[in-house]
A and B are shown apart, each in its own frame.
Chain A
Amino acid sequence: MSLFVSAVVSGIGIGFLYGIMGLSIALLYKSTGIISFAQPPLAMLLAFMGYRYISAGMPLYAAILAMVLTGALLGVLVYWLAFVPQEQHGIFNLILRSIALALIVEQAVVYLLSEGEPFLFPKMWEGGPITLAGINVPRQNLVIIVVTLVLLAALLVFFRHTRLGLLLRAVADSPGVVRLLGVNTRLLMTAAWAVSLIACAVVALLAAPISLVSSAMFAPYVLYAFTAFILGGISSWGGAIAGGIIVGVSSNVAVVYSGTEIAALITFAILGAILILKPAGLFGTSVRERL
């Protein structure tokens, strides 16, 4: 029983990570219409950057702040270099670009940064597990939950109470109207990419102490984070987090009892089942094409 409980507890922690990655994909999709396959490799790149900052002598918290800023900057760069030029080629073309970008980033890290991997990454809160109500909870799990809640609160404030955030929500609902209002949609898209990659930086800094920094660290996210994203209903942020927790807990329990392969198969089955039974996701509303 205690094995089960601890599998669930650490599953929740990992689930939050899948959820933030799903959220990063969902909020980009909602404001730009692009499903990006490049987010997991970009998060990996950010983890490597964080490791470099620390090994260059930066204190941990300064390095974390630098990672977040690097994420924002990377988002701006990626959008302007890969998605702005000739964007009239259409959404199919833009989605393929994200696939190209995923492979570019992955290969670039492998060739330029990965020698000597995996690398250790310090924890924000060192020490053994903490006992809460008789259950052993790893400290990093608590860190993950707290940081995720802070991130969600920050996003909530950003999208509810800032002009840029409100415009981003408006552009998600009706891009045409926002353009008519005379708003610079380029600026909005730039902001969406920056926010999305800040979320990736957060995943990177939370995942790195557990999985170590390596070019394979986010490989499973292709399956797990996208399943979280689909479970959540592709445009719902809360849904992505909830989907992440479902995926994290179910796969972690499966890992403990029957190994990583069964866990992957179960998650893949969940992905298939949700698409067949409820393609709009557990928490989303159906999106339809307009002509």
Chain B
Amino acid sequence: MLSSRAHLGTWKVGVVLLAVVIIAAQGSSSALLLALTAGAAYAIAAVGMDLMTGYAGQPTLGQGAFMAVGAYASTAMMINYGWSFLPAVGFALALAAVIAVLLGLGALRLAHIGTAIVTFSFAFVVFMLLNGDLLKTWTGQATGLVVPAGTILGLDLYDERTCFYVAIAMLVVVTALTYAYAHSRHGRVLMAVKRSEILPAVLGVNVFTVKLVAMVWSSVVGALGGVILVQASGFTTPELFATTLSITLLAVSAIGGLGTLVGPAAGAFVYSWLGYAGAGVSGSGMWWPLAFLAVLIFSPAGMYGLVGSAASTVVRTVRRRTSTATEVTEATAGPNDEQADAPAQRWQQPSDVRALPAETEPVLEVRDLTLRYGGVTALDKVTFTVARGRIHALVGPNGAGKTSLLDVLMGVTSATGGDVLLDGVSVLGDPPHRRARKGLSRSFQHATLVPDLTVFQNVQLAAENGAARRRGADVRAATAAALTMAGVPERLWHRPSDELNGGDQKLVDIARAFVGRPKVILLDEPTSGVTEAEIDGIASAIYAACREGITLLVIDHNIEFVRAIAHRVTVLDFGRVIGDGEPARVLNSREVVQAFLGGGNSDPADSRN
């Protein structure tokens, strides 16, 4: 919910939060100290949950249940089997990891809602088992268990103050590790998953694995929070882990600010502190969810975001004041010079692109491709060949089957029949991410950038995954090269991607499709929703990619644009190929003209043929 601009100050806010908590703990009240230790335990669980919910956009409603797994499994191993503290905790965390994998196998298959449903049900089942007699040897049912105090590195957790500092140390370690993970290559993928499940797959990422890793981390951290909570309280009961705990943890995290780690941690401390300060206030259980709802409606980035966006508004206003003048001249200077030419002439192939020999080997072959939904035939034995290193256009009126074809090529939809060969090998059996790794890349009709990342990070995401899978400095070099190739002005590179205008977003999308140096780039409606001046930039980007030897399949309905840029064109109508060949010849043929004009507008004499 929060873009990367706000992460800059994360560690500073974290230090302030820690200082406040530690100073507050210096008083003599042992109840307050317990509340703050419990706050640290909840904060650990909340930070873990934030990775799944805030970063990956998969709301988890079972974090309280994972806390219970940690609390009960560690305690039961100590009481029932005489294990010492650390091995017992190790067992509890491993158990949480195994459960997370099992849940993830089912939950992560259903985009967005699967995690919520499965973890919510899990919380219910766990609460039931804690009370029931199936596991009573290990749970002590409703009365619960007395928790033996553990020792870590010679520190006795029975001492309240030691327990508090150990909890704080754990919180710092967990937060640092989660932060590092969230800002790694995997973390960027998670943020992309939140934007769309298809996007990372198209970039060549096995989304499932990445989500599963996040789920395991989130759950293990939750279990650790549970261990600490019952070490502080000295006992464990089902009431500590009621299903409402899971939702409350989500609520306090959202109030603090999902996707910031520090926000959820702060929320957890405040929650625990209010429990201590306002104990016995009637109806207090209602205020958290009410505040949660209010935050979702009025400030979805939470308290952290509210403060952060106020600060960044100030920064942006200052920046804009100093830079507006130069931007205006830049924006108007370029296109105006060429405004004398008609757009179609400005888009014309440059001489070196036009001079490429017509015949090369095929790189992409589409054979008898058929797609039926129920009674509708969206694609009817579509056959055409795309030549290596050329610009091939695919056109057709609305409903001709262009998007269906693109979906089948990328593996988002399964074909009913036919085949697609990339370099002579069928790819129809491959899932989207594997096709991407084999060298099929695409842009989107509505540039699908990840709003939480900057322009540069969006392209970097593609550079680190998919066919390229570069690392380190190589990634940054490739990213910069792709952005330059696509003609994205350098001053925009480190801006949050949602601040760009439509045309620039399309260029970033093209850079992203290009960065892995794929065999073929599929451009989905590059000219839709942008101005004519912006189309100039898109045409240049296409020619730049062509000069690098990359094959382009451009799907568009702007006939003038296609006529100007393509070496070859295939025309679809009602799911069938009605023309294929040189643009000048094909686009002037009677059948094609009629398809675009529609039966009603054409000459009656023509339609009789």
A interface residue numbers (CB < 8 A to B) = 35, 37, 82, 85-86, 89, 91-93, 95-97, 99-104, 106-108, 110-112, 219-220, 222-223, 226-227, 230, 234, 259-262, 264-265, 268, 271-276, 279, 288-289, 291
Contact A99 B250, beta carbon cutoff 8 Å? yes
Contact B198 A289, beta carbon cutoff 8 Å? yes
Contact A103 B198, beta carbon cutoff 8 Å? no
Contact A103 B283, beta carbon cutoff 8 Å? no
Contact B111 A289, beta carbon cutoff 8 Å? yes
Which residue of chain A has the shortest Cβ distance to B194 in the bound complex? A92
Contact A99 B61, beta carbon cutoff 8 Å? yes
**In residues 95-116 of chain B, which contact A (Cβ within 8 Å)?**
102-103, 105-107, 109-114, 116
Q: Which of B194, B297, B412 has the most CB of A within 10 A?
A: B297
**CB contact under 8 A between A271 and B124, given known A96-B250, A100-B296, A289-B198:** no
Checking B57, B128, B292, B444 against A264 with a beta-carbon cut-off of 8 angstroms, the contacting residue is: B128
Which chain A residues border B412 with CB–CB below 8 Å? 288
Interface stretch, picked from B27-35, B157-165, B240-248, B416-424, is B240-248
**CB contact under 8 A between A272 and B285, given known A89-B296, A104-B290, A261-B132:** no
Contact B244 A93, beta carbon cutoff 8 Å? no
Cα-based distance from A85 to B299 in the complex (angstroms): 12
**CB contact under 8 A between A276 and B194, given known A264-B124, A264-B128, A291-B446:** no
Contact A261 B251, beta carbon cutoff 8 Å? no
B574 at the binding interface (Cβ < 8 Å): no
Contact B121 A85, beta carbon cutoff 8 Å? no
In the complex, what's the smallest C-beta–C-beta distance from A207 to chain B, in angstroms? Answer: 17
In the complex, what's the smallest C-beta–C-beta distance from A89 to chain B, in angstroms? Answer: 5
Which chain A residues border B13 with CB–CB below 8 Å? none
Which chain B residues border A35 with CB–CB below 8 Å? 113, 116-117
Checking B110, B124, B288 against A275 with a beta-carbon cut-off of 8 angstroms, the contacting residue is: B110
Contact B134 A259, beta carbon cutoff 8 Å? yes
Contact A223 B121, beta carbon cutoff 8 Å? yes
In the complex, what's the smallest C-beta–C-beta distance from A72 to chain B, in angstroms? Answer: 22
Q: Mark B115-133, 1 if CB is under 8 A from A, else 0.
A: 0111011101100110011
Which residue of chain B has the shortest Cβ distance to A273 in the bound complex? B106
In the complex, what's the smallest C-beta–C-beta distance from B103 to chain A, in angstroms? Answer: 7
13 contacts across the A-B interface (CB closer than 8 A): A37-B120, A86-B300, A97-B293, A97-B296, A226-B117, A271-B118, A275-B109, A275-B110, A276-B105, A279-B110, A288-B413, A289-B198, A291-B196
Contact A275 B107, beta carbon cutoff 8 Å? yes
Cα-based distance from A65 to B300 in the complex (angstroms): 38
Contact A110 B250, beta carbon cutoff 8 Å? no
**CB contact under 8 A between A86 and B297, given known A222-B243, A261-B129, A261-B134:** yes
Contact A111 B118, beta carbon cutoff 8 Å? no
**In residues 569-599 of chain B, which contact A (Cβ within 8 Å)?**
none
- Which secondary structure dominates where chain B touches chain A? helix
Cα-based distance from A82 to B298 in the complex (angstroms): 11
Contact A103 B296, beta carbon cutoff 8 Å? no
Which residue of chain B has the shortest Cβ distance to A91 in the bound complex? B112
Contact A92 B57, beta carbon cutoff 8 Å? yes
Contact B297 A97, beta carbon cutoff 8 Å? yes
Q: Mark B48-61, 1 if CB is under 8 A from A, else 0.
A: 00000000010101
Which residue of chain B has the shortest Cβ distance to A219 in the bound complex? B124
Which chain B residues border A112 with CB–CB below 8 Å? 283
Cα-based distance from A95 to B293 in the complex (angstroms): 11
Checking A89, A93, A222, A291 against B121 with a beta-carbon cut-off of 8 angstroms, the contacting residue is: A222
Contact B134 A107, beta carbon cutoff 8 Å? no
Contact A93 B300, beta carbon cutoff 8 Å? yes
Cα-based distance from A91 to B116 in the complex (angstroms): 13
Which residue of chain B has the shortest Cβ distance to A92 in the bound complex? B57
In the complex, what's the smallest C-beta–C-beta distance from B51 to chain A, in angstroms? Answer: 15
B397 at the binding interface (Cβ < 8 Å): no
B199 at the binding interface (Cβ < 8 Å): yes
In the complex, what's the smallest C-beta–C-beta distance from B292 to chain A, in angstroms? Answer: 4
Checking B106, B285, B289 against A100 with a beta-carbon cut-off of 8 angstroms, the contacting residue is: B289
Contact A264 B61, beta carbon cutoff 8 Å? no
Cα-based distance from A93 to B286 in the complex (angstroms): 20
Q: Which of A100, A106, A110, A264 has the most CB of B within 10 A?
A: A100
Cα-based distance from A37 to B62 in the complex (angstroms): 14
B313 at the binding interface (Cβ < 8 Å): no
Contact B285 A99, beta carbon cutoff 8 Å? no
Cα-based distance from A262 to B288 in the complex (angstroms): 33
Which chain A residues border B110 with CB–CB below 8 Å? 230, 234, 275, 279
Which chain B residues border A276 with CB–CB below 8 Å? 105-106, 109
Which residue of chain A has the shortest Cβ distance to B103 in the bound complex? A272
Contact A107 B109, beta carbon cutoff 8 Å? no
Cα-based distance from A101 to B132 in the complex (angstroms): 29
**CB contact under 8 A between A289 and B197, given known A103-B248, A106-B244, A226-B121:** yes
The 8 closest A-B pairs by CB, nearest first: A275-B106, A103-B289, A272-B106, A100-B293, A107-B285, A100-B292, A107-B286, A104-B289
Which chain A residues border B285 with CB–CB below 8 Å? 107, 110-111
Cα-based distance from A85 to B298 in the complex (angstroms): 8
